[in-house]
Amino acid sequence: MRDNMLDGQVAVVTGAARGIGAAIAKRLGAMGAHVFLTARDEKSLAEVAAEIGTAGGKASFVICDLQNADAIADLAAQVRADTGRCDILVNNAGVATGGGPLHELDPHDWDTMMNVNLKAPYLLIRAFAPLMIEQKYGHIVNISSLAGKNPLANGATYSASKWGLNGLTYSVAEELRPHNIRVSVVAPGSVNTDFGGLGHMDQARAARKIQPEDVAHVIAMLVTQQPQSFVSEVLLRPTQKP
C-alpha cells in the first residue's frame, strides 16, 4: 500500500495503545491520515503517537474510558473542533475477562465485556456518524472475532458480545449506505498479542499466529476500496494453526 493514499483524511482508532490498535494506527498514519489514538494508557498512547510522528505521520492521542458515554461524546467533540471531519472510525478496543462457565461468571465481568465490546461501538458510531453524514463519506470498521462466528466454551460472554457486534455492523451498514458510509467487520482468529492475559508462548507458536500488522493490512485495504463497492466482512485466519 503506497504512502499518502489517505492524505487529508482523519482516522479515529480505539484501543490504540498496543497490539492490533497500535498497528492499525501506525499503518493509517503511514498512509497520510491524521490519526486520533484513544485508550486509557496515556504513556503507551504517547509512545505510539511519537512513533507515528517520527515516521513522518501525524497523530494525536486522547485518553478515553469507553465505558463512559460522556467521555466518548467529548472525544467526538474534540475531533470535530480540531479537524472538522472524521473519515475513518476503527472500533478496535475489546476486553475478555472472567473466563469459565457462564453460570460462574461475575455479573461485573458480563457488564464490562458488553460495555466495551458492544455498547462502546454503538456510542462511538452515534458520536461520529453525524460527521460522516455531513461530509457524505466515511468508513467504519468494527474489529470482531471468530468467536463471534463460532461457539466458545468458557467464553460465552465474550462470544455473545462479538456476535452482537457482528449483527450491529451488518444492520448499521444498511442504515448508512445511503450516505456513502461503508461499515465493515473484521473477525480475526487468535492474534499474537497479550490480549486476554494469554501470557508468554514460545516464539515458533507466536510466529504462526495472526500478527497485528496482518489486521492492519486488512484495514488499509478496506479504507482504500473503490467507491462503487465495499467489503462487508473479513474473516482472518492464520495459514498454519498455532
Residues 6 or more apart whose CB falls under 8 angstroms from that of 23 comprise 211, 212, 213, 215, 216
Burial class (CB in 10 A: 0-12, 13-18, 19+), 83: middle
Task: Kindly state whether residue 210 falls inside one of the protein's structural domains.
Answer: yes
Three-state DSSP at 210 gives strand
Domain, as residue range, for 156: 10-236
Three-state DSSP at 184 gives strand
Which of 122, 137, 158, 170 is an active site residue?
158
Distance CA 41, CA 54 (A): 20
b/e code 165-190 from CB counts within 10 Å (16+ = b): bbebbeebbeebeeeebbbbbbbbbb
User: Which CATH number goes with the domain that contains 38?
Assistant: 3.40.50.720
Task: Kindly state whether residue 232 falls inside one of the protein's structural domains.
Answer: yes
Query: For residue 136, what is the DSSP state?
Result: T
Distance CA 7, CA 29 (A): 9
Total domain count, the chain = 1
Contact between 188 and 211 (Cβ < 8 Å): no
> Cell 460522516, residue?
132
Query: For residue 191, what is the DSSP state?
Result: B
Task: Kindly state whether residue 2 falls inside one of the protein's structural domains.
Answer: no
Per-residue pLDDT for the chain (242 aa), expressed as one digit of tens each? 447 899 999 999 999 999 999 999 999 999 999 999 999 999 999 999 999 999 999 999 999 999 999 999 999 999 999 999 999 999 999 999 888 999 999 999 999 999 999 999 999 999 999 999 999 999 999 999 999 999 999 999 999 999 999 999 999 999 999 999 999 999 999 898 876 544 555 777 788 899 999 999 999 999 999 989 999 999 999 998 76
C-alpha closest to that of 105 among 68, 156, 38: 156
Please state the φ and ψ torsions of residue 65, each to the nearest 5 degrees: -90, 110
Query: How much is the pTM?
Result: 0.94
Task: Kindly state whether residue 241 falls inside one of the protein's structural domains.
Answer: no
Annotated catalytic residue 158: yes
Task: Kindly state whether residue 104 falls inside one of the protein's structural domains.
Answer: yes
Task: Kindly state whether residue 168 falls inside one of the protein's structural domains.
Answer: yes
Tally of CB atoms within 10 A around 199: 6
Tell me the β-bridge partners of 140.
89, 183
Contact between 143 and 227 (Cβ < 8 Å): no
Task: Kindly state whether residue 204 falls inside one of the protein's structural domains.
Answer: yes
Task: Kindly state whether residue 216 falls inside one of the protein's structural domains.
Answer: yes
Q: What is the pLDDT of residue 87?
A: 98
Distance CA 63, CA 38 (A): 6
Distance CA 204, CA 126 (A): 42
Longest dimension (CA), the chain: 50
